[in-house]
């Protein structure tokens, strides 16, 4: 009898696996079909210590006709695993540059930077630099206002090639930000030789800044590190006034988080900054 139960369990397990696989395949087909018509860009403001708007981060959403707005946490991993991140990423980059070019027509918005997330797979394509340059020249966007956010996990790969790509991007004025900084294992000696412009403190540290002493110590260390390397430091996931004040006291002057504003569609963003008096 034990044997029979064992066999049944195995059977259920198989069914679960089968179901998960089928759902994945189905979602992938839906996603493939969704690019780019059902993709939406949201923008989250970035501010300085005086509360002035300095830029925004582009965050993608999937507007499914039946399921509604789907969070990137639910489809970016699938897009990465399936390779769909490549056409998706290219569309995001192009659309972001289009927006950047429009802002550059407006005197009050000319100085804004626009941060775009780039997945490791996308960054490692042989023609990635060309893709970025094409998006810039097709739209007329200013390369020095474009910031590419990459994660530390990229640094595990061929560091020499990654450095070369970054250097090439930088030679065109494009800026690089290390996203989710502090969660990976990038060694300090790597950091010294990488041509990055910005460290983005991961929100997991920022959110518990007020309550967790070791997270506060990590945040302090990253800020000091940025200062000694001469790179900008921005904190993401700033949810309270206390967190912002602690960050300012420690020498961080760039913020992004729900305390200031959530990611929002363009229309809302425009309303937000006209109200904020920008």
Q: Tell the burial category of 109 from Cβ atoms under 10 Å away from its Cβ (0-12, 13-18, 19+).
A: middle
Alpha-carbon distances, residue 145 vs 28, 97, 152, 176 (angstroms): 33, 9, 22, 11
Which residue, 179 or 215, is less far from Ca ion as judged by CB?
179
DSSP annotation of 265: -
Q: With CB cut-offs between 5 and 8 Å by kind, which of Ca ion, ligand C2E, none does residue 60 bind? A: ligand C2E
Choose the stretch contacting ligand C2E; rule: CB under 6 A; options: 9-17, 152-160, 161-169, 234-242. 234-242
Quote the CA–CA distance of 113 and 29 in Å, as a whole number: 34
Does position 142 bind Ca ion by CB under 5 A?
no
Does position 180 bind ligand C2E by CB under 6 A?
yes
Q: With CB cut-offs between 5 and 8 Å by kind, which of Ca ion, ligand C2E, none does residue 59 bind? A: ligand C2E
Which residue, 90 or 117, is less far from Ca ion as judged by CB?
117
- Angle among Cα 213, 209, 176 to the nearest 5 degrees reads 120
> Which of 8, 15, 63, 71 is the binder for ligand C2E (CB under 6 A)?
71
Quote the CA–CA distance of 252 and 22 in Å, as a whole number: 47
Does position 117 bind ligand C2E by CB under 6 A?
yes
Site string for Ca ion, 168-207 (x = CB under 5 A): -----------xx---------------------------
Residues touching ligand C2E: how many (CB under 6 A)?
23
Does position 152 bind Ca ion by CB under 5 A?
no
CB of 107 to ligand C2E, least distance (A): 28
Backbone angles phi, psi at 214, to 5 degrees: -75, -35
In angstroms, how far is the first alpha carbon of the chain from the final one?
73
Give alpha helix (H) positions in the chain: 2-34, 72-82, 85-103, 120-123, 128-139, 159-171, 188-193, 203-207, 213-229, 241-249, 266-275
Closest CA to 141 of 86, 83, 182, 98: 98
CB of 259 to ligand C2E, least distance (A): 7
β-pair type (254-256, 232-236): parallel
Answer for the pair 28, 39: CB distance below 8 angstroms, yes or no. no
Site string for Ca ion, 104-123 (x = CB under 5 A): -------------x------
Does position 179 bind ligand C2E by CB under 6 A?
yes
Interface ranges with ligand C2E (CB under 6 A)? 44, 58-60, 71-73, 76, 89, 92, 117, 119, 179-180, 203, 236-239, 256-258, 263
Q: Footprint of Ca ion on this chain (CB under 5 A)?
A: 117, 149, 179-180
């Amino acid at each position: 009898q034990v044997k029979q139960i064992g066999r049944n369990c195995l059977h259920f397990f198989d069914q679960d696996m089968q179901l998960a696989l089928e759902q994945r395949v189905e979602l992938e087909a839906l996603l493939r079909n969704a690019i780019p018509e059902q993709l939406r860009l949201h923008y989250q403001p970035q501010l300085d210590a005086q509360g002035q708007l300095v830029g925004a981060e582009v965050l993608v959403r999937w507007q499914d006709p039946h399921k509604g707005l789907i969070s990137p946490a639910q489809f970016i991993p699938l897009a990465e695993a399936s390779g769909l991140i490549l056409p998706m990423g290219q569309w995001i980059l192009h659309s972001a540059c289009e927006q950047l070019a429009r802002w550059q027509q407006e005197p009050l918005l000319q100085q804004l930077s626009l941060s775009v997330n780039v997945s490791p797979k996308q960054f490692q394509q042989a023609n990635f630099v060309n893709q970025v340059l094409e998006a810039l020249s097709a739209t007329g966007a200013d390369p020095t206002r474009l910031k590419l956010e990459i994660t530390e996990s990229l640094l595990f790969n061929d560091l020499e090639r990654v450095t070369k790509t970054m250097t090439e991007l930088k030679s065109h004025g494009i800026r690089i930000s290390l996203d989710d900084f502090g969660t990976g294992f990038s060694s300090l000696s790597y950091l010294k030789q990488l041509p990055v412009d910005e460290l983005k403190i991961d929100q997991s540290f920022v959110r518990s800044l007020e309550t967790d002493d070791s997270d506060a110590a990590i945040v302090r260390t990253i800020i000091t590190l940025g200062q000694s390397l001469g790179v900008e430091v921005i904190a993401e996931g700033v949810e309270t006034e206390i967190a912002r004040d602690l960050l300012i006291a420690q020498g961080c002057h760039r913020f992004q988080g729900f305390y200031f504003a959530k990611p929002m569609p363009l229309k809302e963003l425009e309303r937000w900054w006209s109200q904020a008096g920008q």
